Amino acid sequence: MSEQLNKMIEYKQKTTLAMAFSIANDKSLAKDILEKKIKSDHFDELIFQFEKNNLYKNSWMQILDKDLKPVYLSSNKQNGITENTIREDLMEASALEKPIVSVSVGNYDLSIRAIVPIIRDSKFIGLVEISSRFNSISQQMKDFGVESVVVLNKEYKNSIKIPFSKTFVDDYYIANIDAPIVFTSYLRRNGIYNYIHLPYKSENGYIISIHPLKNIQNRIIGHYIMFKKQDDVLNINLDFFMYKWFSIAIVAFMIIAGIVGNLVLYRSKKQKMYYKNIIDSSSNIVMVVDKENIIDMNKTFFKYFYGFKTPEEFKEAHQSISDFFIQEDGCIYKDMAGISWLEYLMKYPKNNLVKISYNEKEYYFTAGISLISEENGHYSVIFADVTEEKIYQKELEHTNITDPLTKIRNRYYYNEQIKKESASSNRYFYPLSLVIFDIDHFKKINDNYGHDVGDKVLIEYTKLITTYLRDSDIFCRIGGEEFALILPHVNKSDAYKIADKIRMKVQEHKDILAVTMSFGVTEYVKGEDIEVTFKRADKALYGAKNGGRNRVVFR
């Protein structure tokens, strides 16, 4: 009995978690929470359909923001109660930013609860919680001739503000509304305490089995008490099993098992079909995987990998979706630091950006992972498409670091990069040089020819200079006609040669207008403040100006 019950609880936890996962990974939900525009009607209908199409009735949902304040609460249809208490499991899911499924006590009941964080761009937005009661399990146990009484330990009595079942026995709250009166009365007469400390007991013609219910902290907060008639339990006394009755019993058992099996199979198929429909309706890619292979995927998967029509067809060609990962800074790739991308994602769930390329199209996804079967080593992985957001972010970043006129990097980018390069130079002991330069007599160009011509000169000569730089060189416009070159792995002597080569090419160019440039060169001194380095290069530039311009000076 206990083993059967444990399987039912585990299955209900998984299906409740799947429901919460599907809702939490809808990318529009995070946006709605941030904008405080939760579509209550949509979630009311979702809960209604959830209850209508599966065995688990009286389901309940809440959505919380990052401060664990409810932004949506589904009402209990029988008494209008809503949950709004910040519990330990909610705080733990928020702190760890990981899914949690547990048995927990709230304002009005003892329930099975699944809590899933809502993450967007690696930021915690809130939580989705789905909870359901034990009534459906107790109804299923009746198919096996078992009557159930679900009790909450009396030390948690004060946690129940408005009891859903309204039934207490010796300060123990009775959590299932279908608990038979005859057995609650029996427990009242004999004292619940005398049963909950034993795994099972045989008395008055019944086998009484007790299964502890533990919360997320692994504390026993309640017990599932089962009653089964002894006459229904197989007696192992050999005298009882005369051949004739043994045969009859076997045949009868096979008939009953077939009926019960078909009933359970029908219900199981109905539930699996319902959850399959929920997962298929998700706008995200949802997959079931182990550490080496894809096991299943939803319909959305084939919207991206449209060259395949079935899971079997994809699995014949590819072992893993990671075959399509593109290595890029900040993105997960197939083998991360010597471990697989799945192991990396489990270890570092916040580093969850993935770039995928398929048929010359590129996408960005955030990936979330959750263990759904420890026994089989199965995980659910959800890929939420953030391509538009990532492209917008890149465009915004490009705008923030790009000079709008010349299209080279700007002063902000210079400030960031000189910090990074000086830190790397200190750490890895390589030389770093800085060149500051500007266009000689640029004010006269603007005064004599106008700012339009001045702008064209800036554009033309920055293009020219770019052609003579290495990929690793960092070229920035830091003022009106003033520029900076950050030269990693270049000492002062070589930096002088680079600057002088650019000076000569500028002097020879003469397009738009003939101009010359003056250069100040210096080498970064390990450990010094970067402002000191800049001032030294600036003084060298000042020396080039005072020395007659169109020259390179180093300090």
273 in any annotated domain: no
263 in any annotated domain: no
Residues 6+ apart with CB under 8 A from 224: 5, 134, 148, 150, 210, 211, 212, 213
**H helix or E strand, kind and range, residue 373:** strand 361-373
Residues 325, 419: one domain? no
**Structure-model confidence comparison of residues 262 and 495, the more confident one:** 495
Residues 411, 387: one domain? no
Residues 6+ apart with CB under 8 A from 519: 435, 436, 437, 499, 500, 502, 503, 540, 541, 544, 551, 552, 553
Q: CA distances (Å), 447 to each of 118, 438, 443, 458, 477, in order? A: 58, 17, 6, 15, 21
Residue 528: its pLDDT value, please? 95
Q: Tell me, what CATH number does 499's domain have?
A: 3.30.70.270
Residue 523: its pLDDT value, please? 97
Residues 132, 6: one domain? yes
Residues 435, 374: one domain? no
245 in any annotated domain: no
State both tokens at 228: 């089964």
Residues 411, 501: one domain? yes
Residues 93, 156: one domain? yes
- Encode pLDDT of 338-353 as tens digits: 788 888 888 888 888 9
- Encode pLDDT of 389-399 as tens digits: 888 888 878 88
What's the pTM value of the predicted model, to 2 decimals?
A: 0.46
Q: How many domains does the chain have?
A: 3
Residues 432, 344: one domain? no
**Structure-model confidence comparison of residues 520 and 41, the more confident one:** 520
Helices 135-142 and 2-24 pack at an angle, to 10 degrees, of 140
- Encode pLDDT of 437-484 as tens digits: 999 999 999 999 999 999 999 999 999 999 999 999 999 999 999 999
Residues 351, 211: one domain? no
239 in any annotated domain: no
Which structural domain range is residue 296 located in? Answer: 285-391
State both tokens at 370: 């959750």
Query: pLDDT grade, residue 512 (50/70/90)?
Result: very high
Residue 493: its pLDDT value, please? 95
Q: Tell me, what CATH number does 199's domain have?
A: 3.30.450.20
Is the pLDDT at 249 greater than 50? The verdict is no
Residue 480: its pLDDT value, please? 93
State both tokens at 157: 């009595």
**How far is Cα 90 from Cα 116, in angstroms, rounded to an integer?**
9
Segment among 181-195, 252-266, 377-391 with least mean pLDDT: 252-266
